[in-house]
Amino acid sequence: MSWQNVLSENGYRVSGPRRYVMQLLESNAQPMTPLEIYQALSESGRPLGIVSVYRALELLAELGLVCMVYNPDGSAGYVAGAGGHHHHIVCQNCHRAIAFAGSEDLSSLIQRVEKETKFHVSDHLLQLYGICPDCQKALADAVEEN
């Protein structure tokens, strides 16, 4: 189901700002802050109030159409969400964030921790950090040049 349909079927309108924000995030793998989104859209001739960016993000996040990605330094940004349970792997060099399916097997870990802490685990947050293929290549080339 397209994000337009998700909006409609939940009784929300497919408005300009929502479309701009969604399309921008879909076209850009780097997580973006509200301000960055506002600036990018303004520069590309899609003037909208920054307030609308905040409101669009709030709604899109609620509907699971975008999600937050945390950087190791604690800063965070939004990326277009893949829908369903998934996680992101983030490049520490170019900050690109790629989703990977949540079919991971954490069950043995979760069982161990449940036994250890007596907690009941029902959810989790997982992100991987590393270097993307492009940056691996770029970094390797840079070394060669020396």
Partner DNA sequence: GACCTTATTGATAACTTTTTTCATTAAGCT
Partner DNA sequence: AGCTTAATGAAAAAAGTTATCAATAAGGTC
Which residues in this chain contact DNA in the complex, by CB under 7 A?
7-8, 11-18, 33-35, 47-52, 54-56, 58
Contact 88, 71 (CB under 8 A): no
Judged by beta carbon, residue 18 or residue 87, the one nearer DNA is: 18
- In the region spanning residues 75 to 104, those forming contacts with a copy of itself, defined by CB under 8 A, are 76, 89, 91-92, 98, 100, 104
Residues in contact with a copy of itself, shown as a per-residue x/- string from 20 to 59 under the rule CB under 8 A = ----------------------------------------
Please select the residue that binds Zn ion; options are 15, 28, 39, 93, rule is CB under 5 A: 93
φ, ψ of residue 94 in degrees (nearest 5)? -110, -5
d(CA 81, CA 100): 11
Contact 61, 47 (CB under 8 A): no
- Give Cβ neighbours of residue 53 (< 8 Å, ≥ 6 apart): 17, 21, 34, 37, 38, 41
Q: Which stretch binds a copy of itself (CB under 8 A): 4-12, 32-40, 47-55, 128-136?
A: 128-136
